[in-house]
Amino acid sequence: MYANHPERFTQGRPSAKLPPAEVCINPIPDDADLATIEKGVNFPTLSRVIEKAT
C-alpha cells in the first residue's frame, strides 16, 4: 500500500514492531526474596495460592 500511495502515509513508511520477548501478568519484582522466586508467586498474602504452589 505504501508503494502505491505514499501520500496517504503522512508519518512516513510504516514499520511493524516486534512483540515483546516476555509477557507477565504478575511479574516477580527484582527485589523479591528467594522464597518468593522459588515458589513463583509474587502475592504471598494469598495463602491458598502459596499452598498450591508447593
| SS3 of residue 11 by DSSP | coil
Which pLDDT score is estimated for 22?
83
Distances (CA, A) of 6 to 14, 16, 19, 31, 54: 10, 17, 26, 48, 58
pTM over 0.85: no
Residues 2-46: tens digit of each pLDDT: 999 999 999 999 999 999 988 877 777 778 777 767 776 656 556
Backbone angles phi, psi at 8, to 5 degrees: -75, -20
Q: Is the pLDDT of residue 49 over 70?
A: no
Residue 42 confidence (pLDDT): 59
* Whether pLDDT at 47 is above 80: no
